[in-house]
């Protein structure tokens, strides 16, 4: 049984965004590898804040809950929260309505992500893009074999919501679309690999989804992907994703060039 979570901010979101949001949370709170340490937890949460997936004012789970969800000790979760606090990404309030709250918006924090981008070599970026594209492409290929018209229509809602979104909302929609396509592959391992890659590379890859031209270009590619899945054309679906991810990586490289100067 699968639930989709609507938001208190729901009035301003399209229906697809609800699904994108819950998918997003699944990615953010996916358990880490057993070696997951405080830095890994802090990085995952910082990415989510920088992308605006966790919004300004949102309350984070308690140290105990974070530890449980990420599969790390409570002290490790506490350490991660401390580093986020000293980076000014969260603030902690005391009392009954207390807890750790996100401060600073996704767009404020975009600079931090761009710095991380500049620190990566072009070789590393291309390699991440290749890996991401292969997994997403394989998921799309399988989705074309299994998707029902209902499922294609639901994906269409996500795509159209993402097409008219900007910045944070566009990136959130991108996250949701990728996870839904992966789920349509009906492979549990492909889904978990997609979730893992999304956590690792998604925040960087989607920096490019800031400019209007990139958002609309990306939406046009999603429509082609949907058409291929709807036509039950696996080769076409895979090809669309390969081209799309390559194109996003090129946009990313261009942003990196500017950041380096």
Partner 1 sequence: MITEAILEIADVLGTALGPVFAEVADWRTRLEQALAAGSSTGPVVDDAVEWLVAPSLDDARPMIGAGFVAAPGFLEDAPWHLAWWVSAANGVGLGARPGTLRRLASVENPLDESFHDYTRLEWWRGAVESGGAYLTGPYIDYLCTDELTLTLTSPVTVDGAVAGVVGADLSVARLERLTDGVLHAAAVPAIVGTAAGRIIAATDAAVEPGTPARRLGLSGDWHPVPGCGGTLAVAGTA
Judged by CB, which is closer to partner 1: 129, or 176? 176
Q: Which of 186, 201, 223, 233 binds partner 1 (CB under 8 A)?
A: 186
User: Nearest approach, Cβ of 127 to partner 1 (angstroms)?
Assistant: 25
Q: Which of 37, 40, 56, 71 binds partner 1 (CB under 8 A)?
A: 71
Sign of torsion, CA 188 191 197 199?
Answer: negative
- For residues 26 to 55, the per-residue mask of contacts with partner 1, x marking binding by CB under 8 A and - elsewhere, is x-xxxxxxx-------------------x-
Q: Does 65 bind partner 1 (CB under 8 A)?
A: yes
Which residues ranging from 86 to 145 are in contact with partner 1 (CB under 8 A)? 99, 145
Options 14, 22, 138, 204; binder of partner 1; rule CB under 8 A: 22
Closest distance to partner 1 from the beta carbon of 119 (Å): 28
Tokens of 82: 């401390």
Q: How far apart are CA 196 and CA 30, in angstroms?
A: 8
Q: How far apart are CA 93 and CA 96, in angstroms?
A: 9
Closest Cα to residue 92, out of 113, 52, 63? Answer: 63
Taking the C-alpha atoms of residue 50 and residue 210, their distance in angstroms, rounded to an integer, is 13
195 scored as a contact of partner 1 (CB under 8 A): yes
Q: How far is CA 64 from CA 36, 60, 75, 99, 250, in A?
A: 16, 11, 9, 12, 41
Least spacing, CB of residue 211 vs partner 1, in Å? 29
Greatest alpha-carbon span in the chain: 57
- Decide if residue 74 touches partner 1 (CB under 8 A): no
Listed residue (154, 146, 144) closest to 176, CA to CA: 154
Angle at 46 between CA 131 and CA 255, to 5 degrees: 55
Among 37, 40, 56, 61, binds partner 1 (CB under 8 A): 61
Under 8 Å between Cβ of 254 and 207: no
Q: Which of 37, 56, 59, 156: binder of partner 1 (CB under 8 A)?
A: 59
Smallest distance, partner 1 to C-beta of residue 192, A: 7
Task: Specify the stretch interacting with partner 1 by CB under 8 A; choose among 64-72, 74-82, 164-172, 211-219.
Answer: 64-72
Candidates 74-82, 116-124, 163-171, 180-188; binding stretch for partner 1 (CB under 8 A): 180-188
Determine which residue in the list 12, 57, 150, 261 makes contact with partner 1, applying CB under 8 A: 150
DSSP 91-134: EEE-STT-EEEE-S-TTTTHHHHHHHHHHS-HHHHHHHHHHHHH
Structure token digits, residue 123: 């070789």
Residues making contact with partner 1 (CB under 8 A): 1-10, 15, 18, 22-23, 25-26, 28-34, 54, 58-61, 65, 68-69, 71, 99, 145-146, 148, 150, 179, 182-183, 185-188, 191-192, 195
């Amino acid at each position: 049984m699968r639930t989709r979570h609507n938001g208190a901010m729901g009035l301003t979101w399209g229906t697809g965004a609800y699904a994108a949001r819950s998918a997003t949370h699944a990615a953010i709170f996916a358990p880490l590898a057993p070696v997951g340490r405080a830095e890994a937890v802090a990085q995952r949460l910082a990415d989510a804040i920088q992308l605006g997936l966790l919004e300004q004012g949102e309350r984070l789970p308690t140290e105990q809950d974070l530890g449980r969800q990420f599969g790390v000790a409570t002290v490790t979760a506490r350490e991660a929260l401390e580093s986020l606090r000293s980076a000014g990404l969260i603030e902690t309030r005391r009392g009954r309505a207390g807890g750790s709250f996100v401060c600073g918006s996704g767009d404020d924090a975009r600079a931090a992500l761009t710095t991380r981008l500049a620190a990566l070599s072009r070789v590393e970026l291309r390699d991440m893009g290749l890996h991401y594209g292969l997994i997403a492409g394989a998921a799309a290929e399988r989705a074309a074999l299994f998707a029902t018209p209902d499922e294609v229509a639901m994906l269409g809602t996500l795509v159209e919501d993402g097409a008219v979104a900007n910045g944070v909302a566009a990136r959130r929609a991108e996250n949701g679309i990728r996870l839904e396509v992966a789920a349509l592959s009906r492979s549990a391992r492909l889904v978990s690999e997609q979730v893992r890659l999304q956590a690792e590379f998604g925040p960087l890859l989607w920096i490019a989804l800031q400019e209007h031209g990139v958002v609309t270009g990306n939406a046009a590619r999603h429509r082609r992907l949907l058409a291929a899945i709807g036509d039950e054309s696996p080769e076409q679906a895979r090809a669309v994703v390969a081209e799309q991810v390559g194109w996003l990586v090129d946009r990313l490289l261009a942003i990196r060039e500017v950041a380096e100067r």
